[in-house]
Amino acid sequence: MSVLLTVLAALIASGACAYHRTSLRVWAIATVITTVLAGLLLQAPWTMLILLIVELAIAVPLLMVGFRRRQISAPLLTQFAKVTPRLSDTEQTALEAGTVGFEGELFSGKPDWHALLRQPKPALNAEEQAFMDGPVEELCGMLDDWQITHELADLPPNVWEFIKKNKFFGMIIPKRYNGLEFSALAHSAVLQKLATMSPTAASTVAVPNSLGPAELLLHYGTEAQKDYYLPRLAVGDEIPCFALTGPYAGSDATSLTDFGIVCKQTVDGTETLGIKLTFDKRYITLAPVATVVGLAFRLYDPDQLLGDKADLGITLALLPRSTPGLQIGRRHFPLNVPFQNGPLHGKDVFVPISTLIGGPNMAGQGWRMLVEVLSVGRAISLPSNATGGVRSAVASTGAYARMRKQFGLAIARFEGVEEALARIGGLTYATAALSRATAAAVDRGEKPAVTSAIAKYHTTEFGRIVAGDAMDVHGGKAVQLGPKNYAGRAWEGVPIAITVEGANIMTRSLMIFGQGAIRCHPYVLKEMQALTISDRDEQLKTFDRALFGHIGFGLSNAVRAFTLGLTGSRIGDTAGDAYTRRYYRKLNRYSAALALCADVFMGVLGGKLKFKEKLSARLGDVLSYLYIASAMLKGYEDAGRPEADRPLLAWAFHECVWRMQMALDGAIRNFPVRPVGWLLRVLVFPFGRREVPPSDRLGRRVAALISAPGEARDRLLEWVYLTPTANNTIGRMHALLPEVIAAEPIERKFAKAQKAGQFKSHDYVEQLAEAQQLGVITAAEQALLKRVQEAVFEFISVDDFDTSELRAAVTRADAEKPARVA
């Protein structure tokens, strides 16, 4: 027994050092002292001696840095260079683009939660709030989604003019160029509010402020290009589009087949250096109405007119619509959401060299330009539109479920509907927190390459779930399209957000963990970068430092994951209040588990992990849900820890943690080296899978919150257009909701009398009059029931049409006429 206890004491000391991430020297000292004391106290001298020999045999060589580098690190460096796959130039550029924010802490296995909570609370300034209360509110009042989607297949002319006049296209353009120079949060808020009224309007405003000429010009344009284009873009004198996707290059933008040849051509009697372009683009938002086209293509210089390279690589240019040979104007029709979107083509289109964004010096730099800018735009546009959509679903579905009666009971009371309402409320809480967190990261100066992918993927996927649940709750009301239907178009448009700016399948399986594992890991990128150092001594020194930091990091995460799993995440320093402290501890556990699994997967599979997309996707899910959960906790703190929000936070948090557990379980279960998988399962799940989805009881509380007025519902509806105007059915439903709830006890009295046969008439209005005469209800109560019944009837009604109204005004033959040449 003394032998076992001595060994156990030494292991506990080593484990404690690993858990707290002490230095190698501290570990050696602590372990040796513990072994000596345990051996003496337990009278186990031989065990003590053997343990000391083992400990010193490990510690001494590792503490002799010069010896360690020559005898251990040098051969490992040679082997590492052989097995590490060489990064392509495009992969290297993607990794170097962007910055690492708090997601790096989540990958560390020991997040600094105080650093998260020290981040400033995101908030609109006075000018931005005035814009939300003024032009944005006014624009929402002008939007009629049925008119836009069915009658015009476009925004009305007065809406286009209003958008331009009030600089909606200039939110990211600095004031010195006559733009609004809004924060990313304000940009997000504007898009969210517009999305609650018209996805078409939101998309139209989003594109010029996202990946497009303005953003590219701000970062890379020449001064002459900035001075000419940016003021014109800010006020809508120029409508921009950016053409990247083609038939053979979508998510894989580096496979562009569009090309340009540097050449000289006589223009107006003058020999001009320029580019002859051939391109075929599709899915280009705003292309049909664009006056200036941003174009991505591969540039070749066979005569070496710009330098000594023949293949310069991906390059970006700005083409005026009037460019001879540019074919533009026809439209795609994306799932009945008619934002301007279409193809553009050109063959042997000659443009002067000055059209290159940034001038000739930026030739071949297009891929770097794109990946650096795309992360910022992707962090705002689609997450904001998706957040507006799910917030709108809370407003409409929560109110509708309280108004709509079946079997004499509001359908919000049915458990099946409660389940859907709970998902709508909980996922909206998570989506709003995620969207705000990524906007705040941009405002802090970050270029969130990894978290923008997380935000794009998960906000749109949550939007897909919420849109489906909203359709289910509304039933036939949402199926019948028409002016009264506020849910159908949102459901139709879901696949658009899923597909654009990086298809979700690709984003999940390739980008989130693929970039996160290297960008966020504290040592992997340093080890890989060591291979590029030409000086051997410096290379070995850098690699040695990273390697042994990595080894200690891996051991620490193994101990932390096992310890926190063994204790049910009940120990450890953390942040938060008495309510949320357990949540932070839970995330500590899964952060350590992610870091451990990522290290093991990369270490065992090496470069093959790139092709194990399902494993990468699952590990990316864990990183994503860690980030979403941390965003929710930060949002809860920023809101002042409102007690009313706790059911929403709890539901969304338990959903995230359950999904994390299942993703880790799936990754470990499918790991191809089974003995390694078995060991990981013991370390990560010592007592098996213990997390569960949100309970029915918790779901009932969330459903109740979103189907009744209150501060929690109000916070979920931030930046939703709720003014009860004629064009805003959801706003009028929201305004009626307090009266609907006030009428419920009166309805129960009325129903009781009705069931008792006290009324002679079968007409509802006449029965109300009888009820008043019999003293069942008062005159005020009668007026309330009548008013609510009339209003609710409008909201549950659907449209019908004459057949002639549904026929297309333009035949297919008309639609297939050849594209005109601009």
Question: Can you tell me the distance from the alpha carbon of 196 to that of 674, in angstroms, rounded to the nearest whole number?
Answer: 49
Residue 310 burial by Cβ neighbours in a 10 Å radius (0-12, 13-18, 19+) = exposed
End-to-end CA distance of the chain: 90
**What confidence tens digit (pLDDT) does each residue in 669-683 have?**
999 999 999 999 999
* Tokens, residue 811: 């035949």
Query: 235-263 pLDDT, tens per residue?
Result: 999 999 999 999 988 767 677 899 999 99
Determine the residue type at 330.
Answer: R
Report the C-alpha gap between 733 and 738 in whole angstroms: 10
Mean pLDDT lowest for which of 25-39, 253-267, 592-606? 25-39
CB-CB neighbours of 549 under 10 Å: 14
The residue written with tokens 């992969």 in the block is: 91
Q: Please give the share of the chain, as a percent, with pLDDT higher than 90.
A: 69
pLDDT of residue 2: 80
In the predicted structure, residue 134 carries a pLDDT above the cut 50: yes
pLDDT over threshold 90, residue 717: yes
Q: Scanning the structure block, which residue is given the tokens 């439209």?
A: 331
More confident: 811 or 352: 352
- Partners of residue 266 on adjacent β-strands: 271
SS3 710: coil
> Which residues are annotated as catalytic?
501
Residue 821 has pLDDT above 50, yes or no: no
* pLDDT tens figures, 529-545: 888 888 888 888 988 89
Could you tell me how far CA 176 lies from the centroid of its own chain? 31
Q: Which of 175-179, 305-309, 464-468 has the lowest mean pLDDT?
A: 305-309
Rg (CA), the chain: 31
Structure confidence by residue, pLDDT tens digits, 370-418: 887 777 778 899 999 999 999 999 999 999 999 999 988 999 999 999 9
| Contact indicator for 431, 384 with CB cutoff of 8 Å | no
Six token digits for residue 84: 């590490």
Q: Which SS3 state, helix, strand or coil, does residue 349 take?
A: strand
Interatomic CA distance for residues 385 and 461, integer angstroms: 12
Q: Give the integer Cα–Cα distance in Å for 549 and 169.
A: 48
450-468: per-residue pLDDT in tens? Answer: 999 999 999 999 999 999 9
Best CA proximity match to 201, nearest among 247, 135, 245, 257: 135
Compute φ and ψ for 328, nearest 5 degrees. Answer: -155, 150
| Strand spans (E) along 686-778 | none
Token readout for 757 is: 């046969």
For the ranges 18-27, 200-209, 652-661, the lowest mean pLDDT is seen at 18-27
Predicted model pTM: 0.94
- What pLDDT is attached to residue 539? 87
At 461-490, the pLDDT tens digits run 999 999 999 999 999 999 999 999 999 999
Outline where DSSP puts E strands in 171-269.
Answer: 240-243, 259-267
CA distance linking residue 486 with residue 477, whole number of Å = 9
Mean pLDDT of 646-658: 98
Ramachandran area for residue 688 (φ above 0: left; ψ -120 to 50: alpha; else beta)? left
